[in-house]
Amino acid sequence: MTRRPKPRPTTVAGALLDWSDRSHWSYEAKPCRYCGRPTHLRDSSRSPADKVCAEKALTQQAADTAAAYQNGTIG
C-alpha cells in the first residue's frame, strides 16, 4: 500500500491568512515591511509585516499575475 501525501492548503486571493501560530509573533516591534508602522507580527520569512498588509500584498500580487497572463506577458 502506498501512502499519498497530504494535500497542501492553497492560497486563494482575498482569503485571510492564518497567523495563529506562535512563529508569527515577536516581542520586539519592528517597522512593517509594507507600511512602516511598528508591528510585533512576522511573516513566514520572519520579516516584520502586519497581517492586513501581507494580505493586501498577496491579493495585489495575484491580480498582477492574472493581468500579466491575460496580456500575454507571462506564459
pLDDT of 16-69, one tens digit each? 788 888 999 999 999 999 999 999 999 989 999 999 999 999 999 988 888 888
Q: Regarding predicted confidence, which is higher, 53 or 75?
A: 53
Q: Regarding predicted confidence, which is higher, 12 or 22?
A: 22
Question: How far apart are alpha carbons 46 and 52 in whole angstroms?
Answer: 16
Q: Regarding predicted confidence, which is higher, 1 or 34?
A: 34
On the question of pLDDT at 73 being above 80, the answer is no
Alpha carbon 58 to its chain centroid, in Å, reads: 5
